[in-house]
């Protein structure tokens, strides 16, 4: 089996003559969190629906667990947990009764699965409250509980923090991180909030008007995010002495024999260069790395930015 749990090739979806998803090649690696970032209506939900077979594919193909999903639903679905849009449940039943129904239909991986799932998302088990009386945040939590009820390998979460309060968002975020880091689950998550994805994802795909603009690992992106002055000089000890004595900063680090990063970006680069030259330290190169993720996204989405 390949390392990709989800792989799409030239995935396209048309509604009438409108193209909602255009030749998307998505690669979700095993054991990682893949963040699908894009504005509302960019096509995130449609992609997820096509992956799950909830809506017909116009052209292209989807592979889940390395194989085509069509015709193998019975074997593949039990290994996936998903929330698509706002999760729907029966309003005349309580939260536990709702989950009980899905546990009965799908089967569970361990005894007391319903209680466990509800504990994990922080909902009371065997509560008398009917789903119809749930708040938006509670509904979302129940949706997550249903997605993890059968301890699936792959989670597909469409805007799971929608409707949650800030504390709830942080809770869900930590819990998703735990699922990935402590249990090794693979997670495909979508969001229109950059900071949300930046905190969670290992890999990131940016989608705009149905087109996947960029797919890369978060680590790659983070390199573009920090602000520092990168100096390559001939004599590191001397350079550090000058920084400390003349510029009174200790906020720098030495990465190898010739490279030095100054994190104190308030320093005037020209002045630093000049001072180094004056003291006979050859400056091989100096550059200001000053790019934020936001700037970066603005650049690739053509100036519109995300969220």
Cα–Cα distance measured from residue 84 to residue 120, given in angstroms and rounded to the nearest whole number? 20
C-alpha 18/C-alpha 49 separation (Å) is 17
SS3 for 118-177, per residue?
Answer: HHHHCCCCCCCCEHHHCCHHHHHHHHHHHHHCCCCCEEEEECCCCCCCHHHHHHHHHHHH
**Residue placing its CB nearer to another protein in the complex, 118 or 206:** 118
Minimum CB distance to another protein, residue 154 (Å): 8
Binding part of the chain for another protein, among 121-129, 187-195, 248-256, 265-273 by CB under 8 A, reads: 248-256
Note whether 247 binds another protein by CB under 8 A. Answer: no
Q: Which residues within the stretch 59-78 sit at the binding site for another protein (CB under 8 A)?
A: 73-75, 77-78
Distance (Å, whole) CA 35 – CA 174: 15
Signed CA dihedral, 107, 111, 117, 123: sign only:
positive
Q: Taking CB under 8 A as the rule, does residue 251 contact another protein?
A: yes
Q: Which residues pair with residue 212 across a beta bridge?
A: 207
Q: Which of residues 187-226 bind another protein (CB under 8 A)?
A: none
Contact between 292 and another protein (CB under 8 A)? no
Total residues interacting with another protein, rule: CB under 8 A = 66
Strands 283-290 and 227-233: antiparallel
Nearest to 117 by CA among 94, 100, 130, 104: 100
The two tokens of residue 30 are 């095993």
One residue of 23, 58, 108, 217 binding another protein per CB under 8 A: 108
Helix (H) or strand (E) holding 240, with range, is: helix 236-246
Span from 13-21, 92-100, 211-219, 294-302 in contact with another protein (CB under 8 A): 92-100
**Residue closer to another protein, measured from CB, 106 or 224:** 106
Which pairing describes strands 27-29 and 4-15: parallel, antiparallel, or unpaired? antiparallel
Instruction: Kindly state whether residue 97 participates in binding another protein, applying the rule CB under 8 A.
Output: yes
Residue 97 has which token pair?
């009764």
- Interaction of residue 305 with another protein, rule CB under 8 A: no
Nearer to another protein, 24 or 114 (CB): 114
In the list 119, 244, 295, 304, the residue contacting another protein (rule: CB under 8 A) is 244
**Which one of 10-18, 217-225, 242-250, 288-296 is the stretch in contact with another protein (CB under 8 A)?**
242-250
The residue (of 13 and 208) whose beta carbon lies closer to another protein is 13
Per CB under 8 A, 28 contacts another protein = no
Tokens representing 96 are 């536990």
Work out which of 14, 195, 216, 255 binds another protein, going by CB under 8 A.
Answer: 255
Residues that bind another protein (CB under 8 A): 1, 52-56, 73-75, 77-80, 82, 84-93, 97, 100-102, 104-111, 130, 146, 150-153, 170, 181-186, 236-244, 250-255, 263-264
């Amino acid at each position: 089996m390949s390392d990709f749990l989800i792989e799409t090739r030239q995935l396209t979806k048309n509604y009438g003559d409108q193209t909602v998803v255009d030749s998307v090649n998505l690669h979700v690696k095993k054991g990682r969190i893949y963040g699908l970032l894009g504005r509302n209506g960019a096509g995130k939900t449609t992609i997820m629906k096509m992956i799950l077979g909830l809506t017909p594919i116009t052209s292209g193909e989807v592979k889940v667990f390395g194989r085509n999903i069509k015709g193998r639903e019975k074997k593949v679905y039990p290994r996936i947990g998903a929330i698509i849009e706002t999760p729907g449940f029966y309003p005349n039943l309580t939260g536990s009764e709702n989950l009980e129904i899905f546990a009965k239909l799908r089967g569970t991986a361990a005894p007391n699965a319903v209680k466990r799932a509800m504990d994990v998302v922080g909902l009371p088990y065997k509560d008398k409250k009917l789903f119809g009386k749930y708040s938006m945040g509670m509904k979302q939590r129940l949706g997550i509980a249903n997605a993890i009820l059968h301890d699936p390998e792959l989670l597909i979460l469409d805007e799971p923090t929608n409707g949650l309060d800030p504390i709830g968002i942080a809770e869900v975020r930590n819990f998703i991180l735990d699922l990935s880091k402590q249990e090794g689950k693979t997670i495909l998550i979508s969001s229109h909030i950059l900071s949300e994805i930046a905190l969670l994802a290992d890999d990131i795909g940016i989608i705009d008007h149905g087109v996947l603009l960029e797919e890369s690992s978060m680590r790659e992106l983070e390199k573009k995010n920090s602000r520092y002055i990168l100096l390559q000089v001939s004599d590191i000890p001397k350079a550090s002495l000058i920084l400390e004595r003349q510029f009174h900063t200790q906020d720098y680090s030495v990465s190898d024999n010739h490279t030095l990063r100054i994190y104190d970006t308030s320093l005037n680069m020209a002045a630093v260069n000049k001072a180094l030259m004056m003291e006979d330290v050859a400056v091989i190169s100096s550059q200001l790395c000053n790019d934020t993720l936001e700037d970066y996204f603005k650049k690739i989405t053509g100036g519109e930015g995300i969220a």
